[in-house]
Amino acid sequence: MNRLTALLKDKERLHNIVSNDDTPMGKAFDLTVMSAIVVSLLLAFVESSLHVDEFTMDDLMSKSLTKVGWLKLGLTVLEYLLTLFFTVEYVLRVYCEPRRKDYYLSFFGIVDFLATFPQLLSIFVPQLKYLAIMRSFRLIRIFRVLKLFTFINEGYLLLESIKRSMNKLIVYFLFITVLVVVLGTLMFMVEGGYPGTSFRSIPDSIYWAIVTLTTVGYGDITPITVAGRVISSMIMILGYTIIAVPTGIVSATMIDETKKKGKNGRCPRCNQKTDLNANYCKNCGERL
C-alpha cells in the first residue's frame, strides 16, 4: 500500500509507466491494457449473440436462471470489472499527464474517452454499452509496444500520400456528387411519371444513382421503362470505369513518394537522419 501511495505521488514515474513503453513496467502495463481490450471486445461480440431475457434480482436469488442466463450474468459482471479497470486507467492517464489539454484533444485521448465513459453511462442507457467497440482503435498502440517500425513507416507513407492527394480526391468527389445529382434527376424525369414507379422523388432517384454507380445494386429501386433501363446500363458500365479512380490517385502519389530522394540528409519515408552517401535508410530500409 505504501509503494502504491508513493507511486501515485511520483507523477513522473507514473507517467513513464502509463505512457512510455521503453521501460519493462511500461511495456507490461500496455500489454495488460491490450489484453483487457481484446477481452472486452470478445465480451461485446458474445453478449450481442446471446438471445435471453434480462434477469432480475428475484431470478438471481431464487436461482431460476437458465445456463444462458448464468452465462450472461457472468459476462455482465466481467464487463463491469473491465469498465472499472478502464476507468481507473483513464483517470491515471489524465492524472499524470503534464499537458492534459493536449491529451484531451489528441486522437488517443478522444478514443480513450469514448471507450470509457459511455460504458459508465450504459448503466442508465444500456444501448451505449456497445460503444465498447471503440476500444478496438486503442489496439493501434500495439505498433508502439512491439516496435513494428516497418509497419508504422508504411502507415506514415500511406497517410502522407492521402494528404498530398487530398485536393485531387476532393475534386473527384465533387465531380461524382454533381454526376449523381444529374443522373438521379434524369432518371426521375424518365421514370417519375409512370404509375407504380419506384422513382417517387429526386432524392430517391439520387439515392438510386449512388447505389448503381458504386455497383452496389440493392435492387429496392428499379427502372420499369426501356429508356430507364438503357440509362441504368450505361451508369453501371460507367461505375466500373470510375470506381477505381481514388485508388489510382493515391497509388500514383505513393509511387512518387517512394521515388523521392532524401532531403537534407533525411529519409523520405520515416524522416530519420541518414548518411549522405548511403543507398538505404539505416532505420527503415527505404531505398535512398
What would the pLDDT profile of 54-78 be if each residue is shown by its tens digit? Answer: 555 455 555 555 666 677 777 778 8
Q: Please provide the average confidence, as pLDDT, over all residues in the chain.
A: 76
Among 104-108, 133-137, 159-163, which stretch is predicted with the lowest mean pLDDT?
133-137
pLDDT band at 262 (very low <50, low <70, confident <90, very high): very low
Among 85, 106, 72, residue whose Cα is nearest residue 34: 85
For the segment 1-48, what is each residue's pLDDT rounded down to a tens digit?
667 677 667 677 777 777 776 677 877 887 888 888 888 778 777 776
Question: Do the beta carbons of residue 288 and residue 281 sit within 8 Å?
Answer: yes
DSSP type of residue 1: -
Per-residue pLDDT, 180: 92
Average pLDDT estimate for 156-167: 80
- Is residue 225's pLDDT more than 70? yes
DSSP 83-112: HHHHHHHHHHHHHH-SSHHHHHHSHHHHHH
- Residue 286 contacts residue 280 (beta carbons within 8 Å): yes
Identify which has the larger pLDDT, 197 or 8.
197
pTM, full prediction: 0.53
| More confident position, 258 or 112 | 112
Separation CA 285–CA 270 (nearest Å): 10
pLDDT score of 264 more than 60: no
Q: What mean pLDDT comes out for the span 251-280?
A: 67
- Range with the poorest average pLDDT among 30-39, 111-120, 128-137, 273-282: 128-137
- d(Cα 143, Cα 24) in Å, to the nearest integer? 16
The larger pLDDT score, comparing residue 238 to residue 53, is at: 238
Q: Which residues contact 204 (CB under 8 A, 6 or more apart)?
A: 188, 198, 221
Contact assessment for residue 261 and residue 268, using Cβ atoms and an 8 Å cutoff: yes
- Segment 170-199 shows an average pLDDT of 89
**Listed residue (51, 112, 37) closest to 79, CA to CA:** 37
Phi, psi (rounded to 5 degrees) for 183: -65, -40
